[in-house]
Each structure stands twice: as structure tokens, then as C-alpha cells.
Amino acid sequence: MVEGLQRVVVTGLGAVTPIGNSVADYWFGLTSGKSGVASISLFDASRHACRFAAEVKDFDPTGFIEPKEAKRWDRYCQFGVVAAKQALAHAGLEITEANAERIGVSIGSGVGGLLTMETQAHVLEGKGPGRVSPFTVPMMIPNMATGLAAIALGAKGPSSAVATACAAGSNSIGDAFRLLQMGKADAMICGGAESAITPLGVAGFASAKALSFRNDDPATASRPFDKERDGFVIGEGSGLLVLETLSHAEARGATILAEIVGYGTTCDAHHITSPTPGGVGGAAAMRLALEDGGLSAESIDYVNAHGTSTPANDSNETAAIKRSLGQRADKIPVSSTKSMTGHLLGGSGGIEAVACVLALQHNVVPPTINYTNPDPDCDLDVVPNSAREHTLRTVLSNSFGFGGHNVCLAFQRLN
């Protein structure tokens, strides 16, 4: 760490996911190898080439949000605010007039309120411009999960919303980390939220040949690093962390769950959807995270991979891990929790950071499920099919997004 920068710790977690709508349920789902993938129920997908997704099930926001307000919010905003309230409660952090300007929010999203946009486009076409909801723009813009969470919590500090596609949640955490390091805030609620399981969202990714088409067996469709992987499974939800400066957390007697020590971010500058061959950009982000945290490859005990289950991502990420960790890459567990949750796009970095903190807490590595056919181009220890007890001190979390965005976060047990 650079001298003069504040140390930053994790004190709270929130999660709304396809395998559980609380942190405890999410962790149970991860460690039991539960698949959150099933046939789409949010809309009639019978005409779609891909007819399954990883939906959030049995979600009722009214325990956290007034029913009248919830009706005015896009689903991704509901996820973000619920996860934010969970995380703040978990941290035991009270926001008051005295500290509100030192507590901020940063919730990334890849596409924002896509459902609102589609719904109101149909209203415009069918009923005319006068019938379009006055809440259309506030409901669909990608900063509104941040805005609504800040309003709900009374957080008046730094406020932002990163939109770096599938890296957005991790970028939001990394940017919040930087603000805290520099003393610009005392605490940040940060991560990602997404809800893009809509007719247009699914059709668009399917047309791009990015999705799996295993309609006959959805539960096994997300199979990162497996030789027979054929695309990702779209998911939805939100994962948020409460980050605080160590001094602030200690002063209020907070329970410290982990320390965030490194953040690396780069761009491939190569192609709008495909990663640079050989994992060059991802490896650079991983090396920057290591350097930022003063870490060596030998100190890494686990990598939560981006692991989308697409042919290009998984082989390139394998190459990136080998480039950045060298011989250590063959000796550490590398798993993809997207095998269970699907790919939450901008929300993925948030729930995967939550998974990393929980892994550190419990010394358990979540598995990569649906792994049956090894791929020689993905020859890492992918923790196949069952969770594994493993002593963890330092872990990495990778997120890569369309546009070439690469992020790596490093977490460790507090010294």
C-alpha cells in the first residue's frame, strides 16, 4: 500500500440472487452447488431461441420498499435498494445527519432499466406518446439504483454509477475503494445490480450467439471451463458491500469481514465483444491488482473467475490467469460461481465479491458445477461440482466486460 492511504475493510454484505435472496441463502446455494437456472417465467419466451435464464425467485421488495414506491421502480432498482438495505443492516452502520455526507453509494449496472424501456416503447407504439409513463426516464437510466439507494438510506456522500458492461459491479467496488483510500469518504455502499431478462435482452444476446441454447436441460447450461460449453446464461440480481476505512470501522466497533487490498482495471482496446487473444488485458488487470495490494502470485489462495461459460472467455481467462500468476496458477483453486447464478452482467462483480468475502470467512471455495468434460485449453483446478474446504488468506475476483473492460479485485483476511 502507498504510504498515507487509508486501509479499507468490508463490514457488510447484501445479496439478491437467482439462488437466494439473502446473504445466508446465497451462500448456502453456492456451497451446495445449487443451480438457479430454469425456464423463463418473467415473459413468454416460446418464440425465443433461448428459453431459459437465472431468474430471482420469490422476490418481494415490499419488506424493504413501500409498495407504492416499488411499483414506480424498475426491477433492477428494486434489487439494488433491497441489497443496499441488507448490507447496511449487516454492517450495523447507522446513517445520521452528522455522518451522511461521509457515506456514499456506487452501484454499477450494464444496461439499467431495460424492462422499463421495452414496456414504455410498446406503450408509445400502441397508445401514443401521451400515455408514456412520466417515470420512464427515471426508471430506466443506469444511475437510478444508486440514486434510489442513496435516498432510501440517506447517504449524501460520493455518489456514482459505473456502466462498464459486465465489469460494472467490480469497477464500482474498486472506485469506492479508491475514494476511501484517499479519505474522501468514511464508508461506501457499492457493487452492482441488473435485471435484463426481458424479451429484447434475451433476443439480443441470442442473436449475438453469446447465450447457451440448451433448452432441453437448462440447469446444466452454464458450464464454465467445460469442453462442451456453448454460451452464457443470463441472470439477474444484486450484490453489494459496505466498505469502510479501517479507522472508521474500528472506531465504531464494527465486525470486520475482510480487507480489500487491490484493484486493477484495464481495457483490451481490441473488439466490442471479444477479448484479446491470450488473455493479455485480463492478465494486466490481475497484475495491477497484485501490485496495488503488495501481493505476490504465491500469496493468492483462490480466484473467483469471470468464467462466463462462453468458448472465448474461458480459454482467454485461463491464459490470463497463467500469465499473471505463472506457476502458481496450477496450484490454486479457480472456480466460476456463474455456473450456479448465471451471468448477472453488471451485477456479476457484486455478487462475486460477496462470494469472495464469504469464502474467506468460511475457508470454503464454491464449486464450478456442471463440469463433466475437461477442456485442455482450460486446464486449471476449477473445483468441479462440489465445494471444497481450503485455507484462504488472499483471494482475487475477476470481471471482464463488453468493450474490453477488465477488472480484478483483491481481498484478504485482516492482519
- Name 188's bridge partners: 104, 243
Q: Are residues 151 and 283 in the same domain?
A: no
If one counts every other C-beta atom within 10 angstroms of the C-beta of residue 395, the result is 25
pLDDT tier for residue 2 given thresholds of 50, 70 and 90: low
The verdict on 225 and 294 lying in the same domain is no
Q: Does one domain contain both 335 and 203?
A: no
**Residues 273-283 as b or e (16 or more Cβ within 10 Å = b):** eebbeebbbbb
Looking at 166, 190, 378, 408, which residue is catalytic?
166
Q: Please, which pLDDT band fits residue 4 given cuts at 50, 70 and 90?
A: confident
Asked if residue 238 has pLDDT above 70, the reply is yes
189 and 296 together in one domain: no
pLDDT digit string, tens, across residues 71-128: 899 999 999 999 999 999 999 999 999 999 999 999 999 999 999 999 999 999 999 9
In a domain, 38, yes or no: yes
The pLDDT tens digits for 278-314 are 999 999 999 999 999 999 999 999 999 999 999 999 9
Listed range (45-59, 264-278, 307-321, 378-392) with the worst mean pLDDT: 264-278
Q: Is residue 128 part of a domain?
A: yes
| Residue 324 placed within a domain | yes
All three cell numbers of 213: 441454447
In the Cβ-directed half-sphere of 66, how many Cα atoms lie within 13 Å?
Answer: 5
pLDDT band at 15 (very low <50, low <70, confident <90, very high): very high
Average pLDDT, the chain: 97
Q: Are residues 213 and 268 in the same domain?
A: no
Domain that holds residue 167: 8-251
Predicted confidence (pLDDT) per residue in 150-160, tens digit: 999 999 999 99
User: Which candidate, 243, 241, 259, places its Cα nearest to that of 414?
Assistant: 259
Count of structural domains, the chain: 2
> Is 303 found in the same domain as 228?
no
Q: Which of 251, 275, 292 is the last residue of a domain?
A: 251
The answer to whether residue 371 sits within a structural domain is yes
Are 192 and 275 part of one and the same domain? no
Q: Is residue 336 domain-shared with residue 228, that is, in the same domain?
A: no
Cβ proximity of 74 and 112 under 8 Å: yes
282 shares its domain with 247: no
Whether 1 has a pLDDT exceeding 60, the answer reads no
The pLDDT score that the predictor gives to residue 415 is: 81
Alpha-carbon distance of 198 to 196, in angstroms, equals: 5
**Residue 257 included in any domain:** no
Last residue of a domain, one of 219, 251, 283: 251
Q: Tell me: do 333 and 197 sit in the same domain.
A: no
Residue 2 lies inside a defined structural domain of this protein: no
- Choosing from 90, 343, 356, 378, which is the catalytic residue? 343
Q: Is 378 a known active-site residue?
A: no
Is-catalytic flag, 343?
Answer: yes
pTM score: 0.97
The answer to whether residue 3 scores a pLDDT higher than 80 is no
Per the domain annotation, does 180 fall within a domain? yes
388 and 323 assigned to the same domain: yes
All cell numbers assigned to 34: 445449487
Q: Answer yes or no: is pLDDT of 28 > 90.
A: yes
Q: Which of 1-15, 132-146, 237-251, 279-293 has the lowest mean pLDDT?
A: 1-15
In angstroms, the CA 128 to CA 85 distance is 38
With 80 as the cut, is the pLDDT of residue 367 above it? yes
Domain end position, chosen among 251, 284, 312 = 251
Catalytic residue from among 248, 306, 405, 408: 306
**CATH number of the domain within which 298 lies:** 3.40.47.10
Active site includes 122?
no
The half-sphere exposure of 376 on its side-chain side, counting CA atoms within 13 A, is 0
Say how far apart CA 150 and CA 25 lie, in whole Å: 25
The count of other CB atoms within 10 Å of the CB of residue 317 is 30
Domain match, 373 and 397 both: yes
1 within some domain: no
